[in-house]
Structure 1
């Protein structure tokens, strides 16, 4: 099964193919068990700590035996991303496309905030695993019936997915920038410099944001919901007019 000379993409695809029958003992693990062990490590130590050796140790086996199931680390990440999507508790579809897309975006954001390493796993790749495919079908069904053709449906779902990933990446970067500092500590640290900027009169829009805007002063959930409503309004504006 294992071939170090193959590109990572082939290993990612092959992990979803039916296992070849062999005369040896029955497999001791399944994909979910392997993925769960890798997810535990990623949650505790970060994605960089997820190695074939570490996952094998978590399962109580040798690294070489793990290669019977997963060829390389990239394929292991594939299992992790698919498993995480399957572990999400998605609310039932309501039939209201706006609410269903809100729920989809909100669930994606919560998963990414709870497991920041998922940003690297859920970004960019196609839906190959069974949970990913089921999630894709669910998302596409939300925008079906809105008068969009298949390209427009796919673009709409991809737009939302990509936007949420980018939004959460910014949230996590901001958290990393300010660390554990409270809002009061941030204001004390930045206040004198911000006052100089405002008093200079050279940055009128920045000044208006500081003195007039509500968005910087509301909680992160409310900011996300406000931004999401703009995305949904943009999607609605592109829908075919109904007679």
Structure 2
């Protein structure tokens, strides 16, 4: 008896199948990219929960039922959105320097997640097998080819980078949601009296050193990300076989 994964293809695969049509049938009025772009616009403006077939259809100027020619459910539409974001991202050509290529991969992922705060819900913990995601996976894995690594090691390293970037950006988005439009220096000023009292208590010496000595809290967000990414790349390098 087939398992669930065999019996029930993913929403992305079903969405892909919807894109095909018999050459004798009527030409489609919309492409799946157009549908995904409309849904992405709504999610960016109102959040992922606001995306419905009815709203997407209205944005395209058609009826909701007509969209079911292309995607058969809300889940299929959401997967299509996640795959489309990958396809719209401008990924640099691979340089041949694996460190640089992994950095570019991490930067592109962070850029997409920051631009679309709902995206982590779509990408997290779900098998993603749309055409853009699959091409991206092939590209990512090829960065580590030639080191003599087994396929498990390659897969785990790319997964580590992916998981780290997702977690890092979640912290960035959570801080932005909490502090709103205030920049880091505004936050530091607002908390100055309390932080000074904690430091003056003498009970938290490492916290006090961070307040007095650390430069990272006063750097811009991109610089902090790059410093942390450098540490991650160095750790990955230490795990690679000698060449």
Give the TM-score, by structure 1 length.
Answer: 0.91
CA contact (8 A) 2:184 2:218 kept: no
Structure 2 contact 11–79 (Cα < 8 Å) conserved:
no
Corresponding residue number in structure 2 for 1:17? 17
What is the aligned partner in structure 2 of residue 28 from structure 1? 29
Q: Give the drift of 1:119.
A: 1.5
Match of 2:125, SS? coil
Counterpart residue number, 2:150: 149
Whole-angstrom CA distance in 2 between matches of 1:78 and 1:52: 14
Q: Which runs of 5+ in 2 are unaligned?
A: 1-6
Gapped regions of structure 1 (runs ≥ 5): 1-6
1:130 paired residue number: 131
Task: Tell me how far apart the structure 2 counterparts of residues 119 and 96 of structure 1 sit (CA, whole Å).
Answer: 28
The CA distance in 1 between the partners of 2:173 and 2:61, in whole Å, is 34
Distance of 1:148 and 1:218 partners within structure 2: 36
**Segments ≥4 residues shifted beyond 6 Å:** none
Q: Summarize deviations over 1:68-115 as a string: whole Å, max 9, x none.
A: 211111110111111111111111111000000011111111111112
Structure 1 match to 2:4: none
Q: Distance in 1 between matches of 2:195 and 2:99?
A: 38
Aligned to 1:171: 172
Q: CA deviation at 1:22?
A: 9.1
Separation of aligned partners in 2, 1:228 and 1:184: 23
Structure 1, residues 171-226: CA drift from partner, whole Å, max 9, x if none?
11111111122444323321111111111111111111111111111111110000
1:235 aligns with 2:230: no
TM-score (norm 2): 0.91
Distance 1:182 1:227, change over 3 A: closer
Contact 2:185/2:218 (<8 A) preserved = no
SS of residue in 1 equivalent to 2:16:
coil
* Structure 1 equivalent of residue 216 of structure 2: 215
Aligned residues: 236
Change (3 A) 1:150 1:184: closer
Structure 1 residues 65 and 37: alpha-carbon distance in aligned structure 2, compared to 1, 3 A threshold: same
The root-mean-square deviation of aligned C-alpha atoms, in Å, is: 1.9
